[in-house]
Amino acid sequence: MTRRILVTGADGQLGWELARTLMPLGEVFALNRAECDLANPAALAAALDRVRPGIICNAAAYTAVDRAESEPDLARRVNATAVGEIGRWAAANSAIVLHYSTDYVFDGRATTPYTEDAPTNPQNVYGRTKLAGEQLLAASGAAALTCRTSWVFSMRGHNFLRTMLRLAREREVLRVVADQRGSPTWARWLAEASAQLLHDSVRSPSNASEFWRSLGGTLHLTASGETSWHGFAERILALDPLRTEHRAQRTEAISTAEFPTPASRPSYSVLNCGKANSLGVHRPSWDLQLKGALG
């Protein structure tokens, strides 16, 4: 029997890639915000009842990190409350859930990569609501896996890669924060890694719940390696196949203090992906993933 796969957030970076990558695994129902609005409890419930998926990939989220500081209720509704509702529906209907969270659940004070069981301490509304979503999903009783990732980029949507490509054509000097470190991760690779994780579940539905629970409910999933936003920006400009169109002559490394934002960011949010490695997930470097995205 073909498994029904629901992908939320189909217009987002990750949702768009999941909708295409998961097609070999089942019948994919990729719903955008108009079709499945996590901010609307009735709309979410109706979408779940209509599709009746065996697998739910929740790629929808409130990701406007700075705006979340002034819209905490909406951020919590989408990133937390709705996730708990998805989990409870899945538990009641024998579905499994693949959910995505963030490196921002950590405070950034570490000096070595964070493991899945490292203490969390988010420093902004976005991080706190994403952590709450993880906790509500875990408490729902669903067979669920939360994949924490970081610095997601692609050639679609709003992200750092597209911002740098645009600014390189508008400004002569790009001033970019150099004292925050993480692992830039390509949305397409993240979708492909997700498909790999789901593969055994689709092949052996009776074992899916045990497989998910054996992973401990949380998995770190990022590109390998680390860099700063400034280092990321320099590679974007160097690898851009249309770099002859750049006005930018150089990038200037600045501190977080020189670029204040409403939301505090962790200064170090590299995730330890040893568990993913042990599952056989191939994790190309962020630099190789960037080259793939730029084509």
pLDDT tens for 160-184 read 999 999 999 999 999 999 999 999 9
Question: Whole-model pTM?
Answer: 0.95
Domains of the chain by residue range: 4-158+184-224+269-283
In the predicted model, is pLDDT for residue 1 greater than 60? no
Question: Which pair of tokens denotes residue 179?
Answer: 């004292």
Q: How far is CA 14 from CA 160, 172, 207, in A?
A: 14, 31, 26
Query: Which DSSP letter does residue 69 get?
Result: G
Closest CA to 205 of 58, 120, 44, 94: 94
Mean per-residue pLDDT, 190-194: 97
Query: Which DSSP letter does residue 115 get?
Result: P
CATH numeric code, 4-158+184-224+269-283: 3.40.50.720
Question: Which pair of tokens denotes residue 101?
Answer: 């969270």
Given pLDDT bands bounded at 50, 70 and 90, which one contains residue 40?
Answer: very high
pLDDT tens-place string over residues 110-168? 999 999 999 999 999 999 999 999 999 999 999 999 999 999 999 998 999 999 999 99
Residues with active-site annotation: 126
Beta-ladder partners of 8: 31, 58
- The average confidence (pLDDT) of the chain is 94
Question: Which pair of tokens denotes residue 36?
Answer: 């499945």
One-character DSSP codes across 152-174: EE-SSSS-HHHHHHHHHTT-SEE
Amino acid found at 237? L
